[in-house]
Chain A
């Protein structure tokens, strides 16, 4: 008897939700569907299983093609490092590593065009491309990106957001706190948005932690994943860590932020915290938030959301010393004292 060996087909269309907002993802072909499936596992998307599921707030369309776009009418706009962004009156294009994310202004549709020549597509590139596209889809619905970690103190519902640039110690602090029984949303990427009652909720966005081998060793955590590609600027190579497989039942999809922490590595023996004014906290949040360049209406909503986040929280500058690395309990002691 001969058994048929074949790869199972991936559904080209699926419904998802994040932060209480549902949407559809459509792939044009099987390769696009597989890349989409792979990329989506890196985000905290919840599959919506229903035959009657509506497209929700909009659609993310993915296809493999040779990305091409008309730049003659566009103007260059501000973008994150490594990205080229153009905009005209109808659309914005975000170009990165052989992919284009197309954002029409008047339609609830975001397109991802992935170069069909690139094989394979590295997961870390797909993560950045899909992160950009998902963010573009969700932003008009009031969910805004924040470069920060989200954690919840034990026996508490108080959310702590640790906000800072890459290399500021977010992941190290997150891992230290999770090993001290704190619950976690993410170590790096959050979405923040207002509830109908006006308070701001933080939602987990990226799934995996990215932590250096040294921090994993110091925290007594093992990760079998390969190191991620080296970043510019000499930052230590990190490894993906799926926290759900190690810290069972510690994941929380959302929290109500009460404390904002802005870490800064000092190299001093002892860490210390310093209260920040609301204006300084807002300035620090703006530094870590890519403001939308192609739609001033969304930018205003972003700033309003961040302002409300500052108004509902207390903010602290954390001058992070070596004690946070060396003493496994120090991070939890320090942050618990602020609650």
Chain B
């Protein structure tokens, strides 16, 4: 959980008032939708936070246990990494 994922330059993220967001891969022109919590995860990662800090941000904003938040964030990051949208350093 101390991993700090790297967000590649070829990925653009845009969101609408913190609600859903859209990720666009400039290399493949594939795009993905993130829900509200996914948007919070991405926005937190953009500030250079570790996965542990993202868990803290999520549990601060939402009624979710640390364990559930950690599992969800890990799953999301692995999925994004499989599409080349972030790198798990």
- Nearest CB to that of B15 among chain A residues? A279
Q: What's the minimum C-beta distance from B56 to chain A, rounded to whole angstroms?
A: 25
With A283-B22, A286-B24 known as contacts, the answer to whether A296 contacts B29 (CB < 8 A) is: no
From the candidates B12, B19, B24, B29, name the one contacting A277 in the complex (CB within 8 A): B19
From the candidates A277, A293, A299, A303, name the one contacting B14 in the complex (CB within 8 A): A303
Q: What's the minimum C-beta distance from B69 to chain A, rounded to whole angstroms?
A: 22
With A78-B29, A283-B33, A291-B29 known as contacts, the answer to whether A303 contacts B12 (CB < 8 A) is: yes
Is A282 close to B, CB under 8 A?
Answer: yes
Give the docked Cα–Cα distance between A221 and B62 (Å).
Answer: 58
CB atoms of B31 and A283 under 8 A apart: yes
Contacts of B26 in A (CB 8 A): 291, 296, 299-300
Report the contact-size class of chain A (Cβ under 8 Å from the partner). Answer: 10 to 19
Is A311 close to B, CB under 8 A?
Answer: yes
CB atoms of B14 and A307 under 8 A apart: yes
- Nearest CB to that of A296 among chain B residues? B26
CB atoms of B29 and A279 under 8 A apart: no
- Nearest CB to that of B17 among chain A residues? A278
Is B79 close to A, CB under 8 A?
Answer: no
Give the docked Cα–Cα distance between A78 and B30 (Å).
Answer: 12
- Nearest CB to that of A77 among chain B residues? B29
With A78-B29, A286-B31 known as contacts, the answer to whether A279 contacts B12 (CB < 8 A) is: no
Number of A-B contacts (CB under 8 A): 42
Q: What's the minimum C-beta distance from A310 to chain B, rounded to whole angstroms?
A: 7
Give the docked Cα–Cα distance between A283 and B34 (Å).
Answer: 11
CB atoms of B31 and A310 under 8 A apart: no
From the candidates A78, A279, A299, A304, name the one contacting B22 in the complex (CB within 8 A): A279
Closest 4 pairs between A and B when the two form their complex, measured CB to CB? A279-B20, A278-B16, A307-B14, A282-B22
- Nearest CB to that of B31 among chain A residues? A286
With A296-B10, A296-B26, A303-B24 known as contacts, the answer to whether A280 contacts B16 (CB < 8 A) is: no
Contacts of A300 in B (CB 8 A): 12, 26
CB atoms of B16 and A311 under 8 A apart: yes
21 contacts between A and B (CB under 8 A): A78-B29, A277-B16, A278-B16, A278-B19, A279-B15, A279-B16, A279-B19, A279-B21, A279-B33, A283-B22, A283-B31, A286-B22, A286-B24, A286-B31, A296-B10, A299-B12, A300-B26, A303-B12, A304-B14, A307-B14, A311-B16
Supplied contacts A283-B22, A311-B16, 5 more A-B pairs, CB within 8 Å: A279-B20, A279-B33, A286-B31, A303-B12, A310-B16
Contacts of A310 in B (CB 8 A): 16
